[in-house]
Amino acid sequence: MSEINRKAGAIWTGDLNNGQGLISTESRTIFELPYDYRTRFENEPGSNPEELLAAAHASCFTMALASTLKKKGITPVQLEVTATCTLTSGDAGRNIDKMHLHVRGEVPDTDEDTFERLVEETNQTCPVSKLLGSGLEITLSTALIEKVA
């Protein structure tokens, strides 16, 4: 068994409503990306944990789907996944409870039913789907793109 470890960190200064934070990754692809209460809870421009979770899920899922397709002898022209991470607020506090993936693909020689089945299969094998699926509702929608000649 081999392991790959990736690291990211955050620093927060101040209280929840008036403080501010910085997010960085070990690779420095994201370096001191600011976030605060307004970017997370009030739709102000800027980053937030839910957006980063959605980006992680979308990027992992595209790679996992490409792998699923390759195992079936299918080479996609392009795959696009839009992930929507939902943060809800209620009496028990805030909760990240849903992720919706909209999967579009230009996949030659594949019909809608096959594409949908392979997307469902990928949801069972995608590492981020498996991680999030243990406590999060994950829903899927698909669209097969037909190349216009």
In this prediction, residue 14 carries a pLDDT of 96
- Quote the pTM value: 0.89
Tokens found for residue 134: 């243990």
Q: Is residue 149 part of a domain?
A: no
If asked whether residues 31 and 85 sit together in one domain, one would say no
In this prediction, residue 74 carries a pLDDT of 96
If asked whether residues 23 and 59 sit together in one domain, one would say no
Per-residue pLDDT of the chain (149 residues; tens, 9 = 90+): 899 999 999 999 999 999 999 999 999 999 999 999 999 999 899 899 999 999 999 999 999 999 999 999 999 999 999 999 999 988 989 999 999 999 999 999 999 999 999 999 999 999 999 999 887 788 898 988 877 66
If asked whether residues 79 and 114 sit together in one domain, one would say yes
Alpha carbons 35 and 39: distance in angstroms, whole number: 6
CATH value at residue 53: 3.30.300.20
In this prediction, residue 136 carries a pLDDT of 77
Question: What backbone torsions phi and psi does residue 34 show, to the nearest 5 degrees?
Answer: -75, 150
Helices and strands (H and E) in the chain: how many? 4, 6
If asked whether residues 33 and 83 sit together in one domain, one would say no
Tokens found for residue 61: 């899922």
Q: Is residue 2 part of a domain?
A: no
In this prediction, residue 149 carries a pLDDT of 60
Range of the domain at 134: 49-144
The total domain count for the chain is 2
If asked whether residues 25 and 73 sit together in one domain, one would say no
